[in-house]
Structure 1
Amino acid sequence: MPPSSPPGLSGTLLAFQTGRVRPLMVGGRKLVSAIGKTTVSGPIQVGILGLAGDEQADLSVHGGLSKAVYALPSEHLAWWQAQRQSRGATMFEEALAPGYLGENLSLQGLLEHELFIGDRLDFGEVVLRVTQPREPCGKFNAVMGYAQAAKDMVQSGRSGFYLAVEQAGFLQAGARCQVLPGSRSTRVSEALQLKAWKHLR
């Protein structure tokens, strides 16, 4: 019998963020990215391709039906701030703001080792399904300000996860969701190790 999350697992949507595609320097090359998101207020429409007003620079690796929304546990922000400072990125003294790591949803109470691929987050009007963990790339290293950021994400499991939109509607900050169990075969944290570790050794 597969392991399960604690009975009645639930979480809270603290904030939501959207971003526009803009220039980003990576290894001396000028690329484009929408990794930096900005918090927006009021109810926001969630469609099958994500939050209204959100953009993705490379649809081959971000966005689409299975990666329409990217969620990150807000509990991770303080850890990431400590990591970037300890790795020499001392010029970044301000606390990381929601959306800095590219997350659309800042969640509280739902961690990667508690959620399984296929679980659903039921907000009432909106229902989102966990599809896969985030896999970091070179753009993430550039934004975080140190070269080992992607590796730290894999080793720590603090990756966040992508969501497909099963039921579209409107979301409001402060909304709570209930976790509806899926097949319960692979935790998000386990899927990250399986998918990404081989690329970062």
Structure 2
Amino acid sequence: MELTLSASGQLLAVQLGVARRVPIGGRSVLTGMNKLPVQGKVPVLPLGLTGDEQADLSIHGGLEKAVYAYPAEHYPFWQAARRAEGLAEIDDSLPFGSFGENLTLQGVLENSLWAGDVLKFPDCELMVRIPREPCYKFNAAMGFARASKLMAQSGFCGMYLSVLTPGSLCAGDGFEVVHGRRSVSIAQLFAAKMSKHLR
């Protein structure tokens, strides 16, 4: 089956982080969600971006979940959700990387990306794999207890990518989406996984 180009987008920001302990629910929890932006080219290897760490490799990381990407288009939704929870009075900022994503993308959403699609960057290729599932660490990062449920309801989950062709990435890179088999979208996979939580 011949692959075809479907869309294009832009990599707005690249974030890396090291796993560290933070207080969550009265206990010290190891998390790699705290990602900070980096400038310049970042090497991309089969297990992810050089310099990035995950805390729980049974949930994040590995060959199929080497890189986590999140659509920039969802940021206004979460800023509004935080304002509704009264958090804007404390801190109205929500910088790229706030969802623990390595890549903040513009131009693609969960319902436009399918498992097996390839994001073709100038110097590497990443394959779309599965959606991210929210957990209690996401609630802590967002600052309110309903955040995971809101992600499940909205479908704004982002997607895990595997490294098809190693190379490098840089904020500002453009990319093209190359169609894979197109049998199931990230939105459909996420909805199926979340259905039990929304009953």
Instruction: Return the TM-score normalized by structure 2.
Output: 0.93
Give the aligned residue type for 1:38.
L
8 A contact 1:70–1:104 mirrored in 2:
yes
Question: RMSD over aligned Cα, in angstroms?
Answer: 1.5
SS in 1 for 2:76: helix
Question: 1:55-103 CA distances to partner (integer Å, 9 max, x unpaired)?
Answer: 0000000000000000000111121111122123344432310111100
Distance between the aligned counterparts of 1:35 and 1:129, measured in 2? Answer: 22
Asked if structure 2 preserves the Cα contact closer than 8 Å seen for 1:112 and 1:160, the reply is yes
Matches within 5 A, 1:43-192: 43-192=41-190
Tell me the distance in 1 between the aligned counterparts of 2:168 and 2:88.
39
- The CA distance in 1 between the partners of 2:182 and 2:13, in whole Å, is 27
Q: What amino acid is aligned across from residue 75 of structure 2 in structure 1?
A: L
- Under a length normalisation based on structure 1, what TM-score does the superposition of the two structures give? 0.92
CA distance in 2, matches of 1:92, 1:77: 18
Shift of 1:177: 0.9
- Deviation of 1:131 (Å): 0.5
Structure 1, unaligned runs of 5 or more: none
- Structure 2 residues without counterparts, runs of 5 or longer: none
Q: Secondary structure of the residue that 1:95 maps to in structure 2?
A: coil
- Whether the 8 Å CA contact 1:132–1:163 is kept in 2: the answer is yes
SS, match of residue 85 in structure 1: helix
Worse overlay, 142-151 or 23-32: 23-32
Give percent identity, aligned residues only.
49
Deviates more, 1:82-91 or 1:131-140: 82-91
Q: How many residues align?
A: 196
